[in-house]
Structure 1
């Protein structure tokens, strides 16, 4: 069975199935964190022999050690038999690519792949950049952290490909409209029909505890994480902008600029009145309002296509994503 055979359900990146449930060679990864604040605890973890500090405390335990605390377990993906786990690190180093194939040749085979009709792409992050962002933490809604690299590292990724969508602040009406259009444009049936199993993941720049409210705003079926420091945005080449954009995108075809801006205020006011909505202190915790995002397609640990926003309404159209994922043409 090849790596592209769908040996597992591709819905691990959706609301229909929890992602990354398989054990790692009988080893469970334990991440204990303070859900109230992603920066309230610190610990060090290592990858490839180099230590780095993340906003979480890490412990590693085997299934034969019932005395070890297991209050929060990071699910993971089976590691290849030829990639043994390193006992001092919860994330072993990714196997190096074949020395006979250089980076340009390696990426070229994807760009010429008829199953991946890439009409255009921005400059993709190189291996040095991906190494620099690997250990940067991203946070789930409960404040638990994980390294960004664990999303796309072949040793841990549930699927062959990962489409990572970076959105603006959690109150941005344009991004909310985008995710709503994406959920409609890539239905459950479409998701199963993607030729190469692909996880779809959303990352915003607000505080992690606002993710649950963002899900209500957008009805987004895909996993959402937060990068409140915006370190990933910066290192992956996404910038700050005050450009609203002159062209109305297809995903906002029924929403004019005035209606969009008024809608953001309306959404915040409505949520403030909701007993389960945001609080006044949360109004300024949604993320930097000038930050813009983009879309990155990873395959086997490399970025093979990407698009960076140029303005507040500059996401890649849903039709483009369908083509990149192989659902069109």
Structure 2
């Protein structure tokens, strides 16, 4: 594993606040790292004039945040800053974060995977082109409190804290298979692993249920990564993720100890327990978790473009955790 970084990634975990870009009065845009988690950074609000969003997102505003040390703040309580039309944004530099050299080449990076017989599952599906990414840029994604922001704010180099972003699209918020996947991923990519990723990478999760169910989903999964909702499923559709009734014949590694009957029974048990919990879901929430036939996938962005993606073929077809660890260069 590479040398640990002290930089705080955007919404890296439940232990810290997300990054907000500094004032536009700062110097022209540069690709550098954020300050150490213990160094406060003053920020200013940025307007949402860059994009046109539906009325449900019309009240969106960027947050005025201060980075604090890990283990101090829940990431969901401080939404990322909203981009504006003026993209002259700079990020304070820090020698603690080591970026790839200037001659870094994505094709060279992926060449290693093409020759790896153990990574056949890492072969990329057709990646969304620039026209598709432009079409989805302004689509709103929602945080637990209903605050909206454009999907493009996650991966646009002008606003993203890190060079790369891994975006995981999960199924409905009661899917036991996706819950098992996020549980396995959270255990396999610890906070120490996260800060040790050689090329700084933010990890985000997007589901298709109602945004106010996100806190319960965090309880179900224990997922430390920022979670958003796309209840309209517009992102899922435009990025090529399909609907399916195929449960899948092969049990994935992240469900090695969970048979199909146990998985389905577990979903029902989880819902019943949450209904009995005073702080759990309500009966009306049972039908608000998202379309049960929608399947998701995983997309790796690098400098604003998708360089690798995997779209699920059935309900239990997320890219294996081992594949993601190798893509992130956590494993040789």
Q: Does 1:129 align with 2:125?
A: no
Establish whether residue 250 from structure 1 lines up as the match of residue 246 from structure 2.
Answer: no
Match of 1:325 in 2: 328
Residue 230 of structure 1, CA deviation:
0.1
Distance 2:141 2:255 in 1: 28
Match status 1:270 vs 2:273: yes
Q: Is the 8 A contact 1:54 1:137 kept in 2?
A: no
Task: Flag the structure with higher strand content.
Answer: 1
**Equivalent residue of 2:288, what SS?**
coil
State the 1:194 CA deviation: 0.4
Q: 220, 223, 227: which one pairs with 2:223?
A: 220
Q: Is the CA contact 2:137–2:152 (under 8 Å) kept in the aligned structure 1?
A: yes
Find out whether 1:206 has 2:200 as its counterpart.
Answer: no
SS of aligned partner of 1:306: strand
Q: Which residue does 1:120 correspond to in 2?
A: 123
Asked if structure 1 preserves the Cα contact closer than 8 Å seen for 2:125 and 2:309, the reply is yes
Could you list the per-position Cα deviations for residues 102-149 of structure 1 after superposition, in whole angstroms to 9, with x for gaps in the alignment?
xxxxxx941322697464100000000000000000000000000000
TM-score by length of 1: 0.78
* Residue pair 1:94, 1:155 contacting (<8 A) in 2 also: yes
2:286 aligned with 1:283: yes
RMSD: 2.7
Cα–Cα, structure 1 residues 276 and 52, in superposed 2: closer, same or farther, change >3 Å? closer
- Listed one character per residue, the Cα deviations across residues 56-83 of structure 1 (whole Å, up to 9, x for unaligned) are 235889x9xxxxxxxx985439xxxxxx
- 2:6 and 2:12 map into 1 onto residues whose CA distance is 15
Shift of 1:23: 2.7
Secondary structure, aligned partner of 2:301? strand
Deviation at 1:20, TM superposition (A): 1.8
Q: Give 5+ residue unaligned stretches, structure 1.
A: 31-44, 64-71, 78-88, 96-107
Give the corresponding residue for 2:81: 76
| Structure 1 partner of 2:30 | none
CA contact (8 A) 1:205 1:226 kept: yes
**Does the residue aligned with 1:314 lie in a helix, a strand or coil?**
coil
Q: Helix, strand or coil for the counterpart of 1:200?
A: strand
C-alpha change, 1:11 and 1:189, in structure 2 (3 Å) is farther
Q: Is the partner of 1:283 in helix, strand or coil?
A: helix
* Unaligned runs of at least 5 residues, structure 2: 25-42, 65-76, 90-103, 115-121
2-side partners of 1:297 and 1:115: how far apart? 16
Give the equivalent residue in structure 2 for 1:233: 236
- 1:136/1:148 contact within 8 Å kept: yes
Corresponding residue for 1:16? 15
Deviations 1:182-218 (A, max 9, x none): 0011111111110011100000000000000000000
Q: Please tell me whether the aligned partners of residues 293 and 308 of structure 1 are also in contact (alpha carbons under 8 angstroms).
A: yes
Which secondary structure state, in structure 1, belongs to the residue aligned with residue 109 of structure 2?
Answer: coil
SS in structure 2 opposite 1:12?
coil
**Hey, what's the Cα distance between the residues in 1 that align with 2:278 and 2:54?**
37
**Residues 133-212 of structure 1: matches in 2 within 5 Å?**
133-212=136-215
Change (3 A) 1:247 1:74: closer
Shift of the 240–326 alpha-carbon distance from structure 1 to 2, 3 Å rule, reads: same
> What SS does structure 2 have at the residue aligned with 1:303?
strand
Matched residue SS, 1:10: coil
The answer on whether the counterparts of 1:272 and 1:280 sit within 8 Å (CA) in structure 2 is yes
Aligned residue for 1:111?
107
Residue aligning to 1:90: 84
Q: Distance in 2 between matches of 1:182 and 1:285?
A: 25
Q: CA deviation at 1:304?
A: 0.5
1:56 — aligned with what?
57
